[in-house]
Every structure is written in structure tokens, then in C-alpha cells.
């Protein structure tokens, strides 16, 4: 079954919050359901579509507008587009939403939320620590603004939730809007989050209801630690 309606799923959040990991998992699940889907990752876009842009506010806005334009083209032609970029400024995110919806497609904003303290612990490059110490300027969320969504369609908290639970919330939002086919609910599974946790209370198994192909996700992601490279700015 192919999705008849295109849509844009916009993952926004700070560097290291888990946007790319969720985008990969979403792509795996949605393609398994027969949905046509494409992912625009912030780092890949900067390497290909936005090569040469810097990190001034104007250049950041241009980068997000370019991602939004591609998402708009895909969405209006019946393809699901997933954007995984920091996209720090709310005005440009709203601009992209308006452009997508003007073409008759749906725009779903997902806030991938995670505290700075947790992101600093995940950061193998130590960029957050440098930014917090004032040694690195222009770092989004520390020395450069990140404007949190005021009313996102979905909020996932990657420091608290197992990844399957975060994923299920996003899939449910797409199902409720009739954008992807429903699948029969499987029995609850006990899994560990692939996101590094902080505090003993976060190192627990959590029982969640999961839709889809858990075996595929377990094999691909849940048997190895989270090794996402930190994005400095997108």
C-alpha cells in the first residue's frame, strides 16, 4: 500500500538530541509499510545542497529554506519528507510549514527535546563543554539561540523515553492524520533506550506498546550503543 498523501515530518531539536537516529528508524518502519519516504539530514544537506553557507543567521535561514523547499516539492507529489535539522529559528520553521500546507500537504513538527546537561554528557567531542566554558562561539543552544517550538505536533524526550516509545508517538501522529497505513498492534515489548541516560532512574527497562516490525529495529539499532556524531550547527 502506497501513501496517497505526501507530508513533511519536521524533526527539530538541539545537536545530539537524536533527530537523525529517529529519522533512520522512521524511514525503516515507513518503508516497511509501503510508504514512499525521503530523509533530508542537516549535515548531508550542508555538504550537498547548502555547500558554502556559513552559520550567520541569514545563512542558517537560507539552509532551512532550501530544506523546506525540497520537502515542499516531495510532499506535494505524494512523498513523505523527513527533515532532521536543528532549524533553530521558529519564524523560518513557520514559514516552511505555511509553504507546505499551501500546497495541500500536511506539516508535522516534532520537537526532539533533551536538556543541555544530558547533551553535554553524550557529546564525545566535548563541544558542549567548550561552548559552556565560553571557548566556542556561535554554538546553537549555548552561545547562539535555539527557539523551542511553542506548540509542536509531537514532543519526544530522548533523555527519558525508550526510542521505541518516541518512535511510536510519531507514528501515531501520522496514523491519526491518515498519512500512513495502520498496522495491528503487537504485544508490549520491554526494551532499553538507545539514547544514553543520566541517573539511575533512567537506566530501567520500560514497557511500551509498539506497532510495526520490532525485530528489524532491534537488529539494526537496539543491540549497539548510540554513537551519533554531534552536530554543531544546522
- Give the 3-state secondary structure of 33-45: CCCCEEEEEHHHH
Return d(Cα 35, Cα 112) in angstroms, integer: 23
Return d(Cα 21, Cα 228) in angstroms, integer: 8
What band does 234 get if pLDDT is binned at 50, 70 and 90? low
Rg for the chain (alpha carbons), in Å?
17
Higher pLDDT, 226 or 84: 84
Q: At what angle do helices 57-76 and 90-102 cross, to 10 degrees?
A: 20
Length of the chain: 234
Q: Which of 109, 125, 208 lies closest to 163 in space, CA to CA?
A: 208
**What's the pTM?**
0.77
Higher pLDDT, 197 or 149: 149
What band does 60 get if pLDDT is binned at 50, 70 and 90? very high
What band does 55 get if pLDDT is binned at 50, 70 and 90? confident
Interval 113-170: pLDDT, tens: 999 999 999 988 899 999 999 998 889 999 899 999 999 999 999 999 999 999 999 9
Q: Is the pLDDT of residue 68 over 70?
A: yes
Catalytically active residues are 87
What band does 46 get if pLDDT is binned at 50, 70 and 90? confident
What band does 192 get if pLDDT is binned at 50, 70 and 90? very low
Amino acid at each position: 500500500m502506497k501513501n496517497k498523501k505526501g507530508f513533511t515530518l519536521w524533526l527539530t531539536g538541539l545537536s545530539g538530541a537524536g533527530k537523525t537516529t529517529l529519522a533512520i528508524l522512521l524511514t525503516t518502519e515507513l518503508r516497511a509499510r509501503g510508504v514512499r519516504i525521503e530523509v533530508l539530514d542537516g549535515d548531508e544537506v550542508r555538504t550537498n545542497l547548502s555547500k558554502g553557507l556559513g552559520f550567520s543567521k541569514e545563512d542558517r535561514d537560507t539552509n532551512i529554506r532550501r530544506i523546506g523547499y525540497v520537502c515542499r516539492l516531495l510532499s506535494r507529489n505524494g512523498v513523505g519528507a523527513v527533515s532532521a535539522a536543528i532549524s533553530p529559528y521558529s519564524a523560518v520553521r513557520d514559514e516552511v510549514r505555511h509553504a507546505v500546507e499551501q500546497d495541500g500537504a500536511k506539516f508535522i513538527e516534532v520537537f526532539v527535546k533533551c536538556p543541555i546537561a544530558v547533551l553535554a554528557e553524550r557529546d564525545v567531542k566535548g563541544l558542549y563543554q567548550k561552548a559552556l566554558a565560553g571557548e566556542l562561539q556561535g554554538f546553537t543552544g549555548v552561545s547562539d539561540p535555539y527557539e523551542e517550538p511553542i506548540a509542536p505536533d509531537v514532543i519526544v524526550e530522548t533523555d527519558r523515553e525508550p526510542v521505541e516509545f518516541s518512535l511510536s508517538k510519531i507514528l501515531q501522529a501520522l496514523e491519526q492524520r491518515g498519512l500512513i497505513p495502520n498496522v495491528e498492534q503487537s504485544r508490549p515489548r520491554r526494551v532499553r533506550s538507545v539514547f544514553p541516560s543520566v541517573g539511575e532512574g533512567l537506566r530501567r527497562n520500560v514497557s511500551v506498546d509498539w506497532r510495526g516490525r520490532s525485530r528489524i529495529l532491534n537488529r539494526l539499532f537496539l543491540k549497539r550503543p548510540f554513537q551519533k556524531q554531534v552536530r554543531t550547527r544546522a
